[in-house]
Structure 1
Amino acid sequence: MADLIISLLPIFLVFLFTSTTVEPAFHRRSRTRAYVEVSCQVTEYPDLCIRCLTAYVHSSNATVLSPHQLVQYALLASQHRAQYTRAYLLKLSKELTDNKGQEYQAVKDCLEQIDLSVDQLSMSIKEFRQLGREATLSRDDQFWHIRNVETWVGSALTDATTCLDEFPGQRMSKLKATVKAKVLNVAQVTENALALFHRFAARY
């Protein structure tokens, strides 16, 4: 009997460790998802907002339970979507270099706009992080950072939308349709991030 207890002891310890570590992590993810789902209802594309943020938070193994965290992850998710699209457009423009037709020019112009979006989103994230030190900021400084974030995220959205203007109408080649879909995703994710930021900034 004693030998049986000794042999089962490691299994019991593993179960005990798992139940005290995995379960809290599961509950944290559940609370995070619930918080994201409720918060995303203020956005123009709530389903996209939920999918984008839960996927990003899950991949980062993070917990989001505050408005500041939520906006920061929304901006980071938008930046990463823009970076991914920029990399795709850069690769595509190199492939089309020998064929300098309409598609090449449209992709080249779009790449310039998305490149600007990436830079502006990067600046907005740095600026937004300053608001995390709000206890040490004067009210004027708070408003300064808020205006800067709003300006840069808004500009990033405008640039992505300008890129979409390069692909008007519904009938287009498969290549143009793919580019348009990727850029539209950047624009919608950025618009959602801006809506979440506006809700956060309203507290000031």
Structure 2
Amino acid sequence: MEQLSLHFLLILVSLICISSSIEPAFARRSQTRAYIEASCRTTRYPALCVQCLSDYSNATIQSPEQLAQVALSVSLYRAQYTRAYMLKVAKELESSKAGKEYYQAVKDCLEQINDSVDQLSQSIRELRRLGHEAVGDDIFWHISNVETWVSAALTDASTCLDEFPGRNMGKLKATIKGKVLNVAQVTSNALALFHRYAAKYRAAKKP
């Protein structure tokens, strides 16, 4: 009987320990999710912003710098994914007689997306320097670099579809348009979140 009681006691203690470890983790997720939702209200596409960043709610994201880094990383990932898709499409069109007339348009758009990937990569590296290396007036130089590169990436993604003819591409054009627009929208959100992060430096500089 004593052994049985001890067995139940051990089970009870184990359950209490598990519960106590789950609750702080749940609280952290809830806090991060609430922070993400509040921050995304400042973006142009808040629902998309929350959707993209909610996958990171298990991490501890509680500062504008962390949020900007994650948002730019999401934008880079979407741009890389779109580039990989368009590389595949370009190869298929190049080898297809029926697709020859669209090959150049896809290739030109692909070059724009490739530029976006490079610019977003540079902006992420620059943001890291801003957070760890920049001092004094160098801070604003780094801020300007990030804003320039992310804005350029957004412009490239937004104008990519100008390369396409206005008809006869059907489903292919719609698919490419959807992917490229997604890159443009998440990049727009990332730029807004970076502006929010950079605002603290600009506010501190004001007399």
Q: TM-score, normalised by structure 2?
A: 0.89
Aligned-residue sequence identity (percent) comes to 63
Query: Deviations for 1:108-128, whole angstroms, at most 9, x for unmatched residues?
Result: 111111111111101100000
Cα distance, 1:15 vs structure 2: 1.3
Query: Deviations for 1:39-69, whole angstroms, at most 9, x for unmatched residues?
Result: 01111111111101112x14xx412111110
For structure 1, list consecutive stretches of 5 or more residues without a partner in the other structure: none
What letter corresponds to residue 126 of structure 1 in structure 2? R
What letter corresponds to residue 109 of structure 2 in structure 1? C
Which residue number corresponds to residue 111 of structure 2? 112
Cα distance, 1:203 vs structure 2: 1.4
**Judging changes above 3 Å, is the alpha-carbon distance between structure 1 residues 107 and 122 closer, same or farther for their aligned structure 2 residues?**
same
Which residue number corresponds to residue 192 of structure 2? 195
| Aligned partners of 1:163 and 1:183 also within 8 Å | yes
Which residue number corresponds to residue 37 of structure 1? 37
Which residue number corresponds to residue 141 of structure 2? 144
What letter corresponds to residue 37 of structure 1 in structure 2? E
Q: Distance in 2 between matches of 1:97 and 1:170?
A: 19
**Judging changes above 3 Å, is the alpha-carbon distance between structure 1 residues 14 and 158 closer, same or farther for their aligned structure 2 residues?**
same
Aligned length: 199
Deviates more, 1:18-27 or 1:162-171: 162-171
SS of corresponding position for 1:33: helix
| Aligned partners of 2:106 and 2:164 also within 8 Å | no
Q: Distance in 2 between matches of 1:123 and 1:71?
A: 14
Cα distance, 1:8 vs structure 2: 2.3
Q: Distance in 1 between matches of 2:73 and 2:24?
A: 26
Which residue number corresponds to residue 11 of structure 1? 11
Query: Deviations for 1:76-116, whole angstroms, at most 9, x for unmatched residues?
Result: 01001111111111112112221252332222111111111
Which residue number corresponds to residue 24 of structure 2? 24
**Judging changes above 3 Å, is the alpha-carbon distance between structure 1 residues 168 and 70 closer, same or farther for their aligned structure 2 residues?**
farther
**Judging changes above 3 Å, is the alpha-carbon distance between structure 1 residues 175 and 10 closer, same or farther for their aligned structure 2 residues?**
farther
Q: Distance in 1 between matches of 2:167 and 2:200?
A: 41
Which residue number corresponds to residue 131 of structure 1? 130
**Judging changes above 3 Å, is the alpha-carbon distance between structure 1 residues 129 and 5 closer, same or farther for their aligned structure 2 residues?**
same
Cα distance, 1:140 vs structure 2: 1.2
Superposition CA RMSD, Å: 1.8
Q: Distance in 2 between matches of 1:30 and 1:144?
A: 36
Cα distance, 1:13 vs structure 2: 3.8
**Judging changes above 3 Å, is the alpha-carbon distance between structure 1 residues 12 and 46 closer, same or farther for their aligned structure 2 residues?**
same
For structure 2, list consecutive stretches of 5 or more residues without a partner in the other structure: 202-207
Which residue number corresponds to residue 121 of structure 2? 122
What letter corresponds to residue 118 of structure 1 in structure 2? V
| Aligned partners of 1:120 and 1:153 also within 8 Å | yes
**Judging changes above 3 Å, is the alpha-carbon distance between structure 1 residues 20 and 171 closer, same or farther for their aligned structure 2 residues?**
farther
SS of corresponding position for 1:42: coil
SS of corresponding position for 2:153: helix
Deviates more, 1:122-131 or 1:105-114: 105-114
**Judging changes above 3 Å, is the alpha-carbon distance between structure 1 residues 84 and 13 closer, same or farther for their aligned structure 2 residues?**
farther
- Choose 1 or 2 for highest CA Rg: 2
Q: Distance in 2 between matches of 1:187 and 1:137?
A: 28
Match of 1:94 among 63, 79, 91: 91
| Aligned partners of 2:123 and 2:150 also within 8 Å | yes
Q: TM-score, normalised by structure 1?
A: 0.90
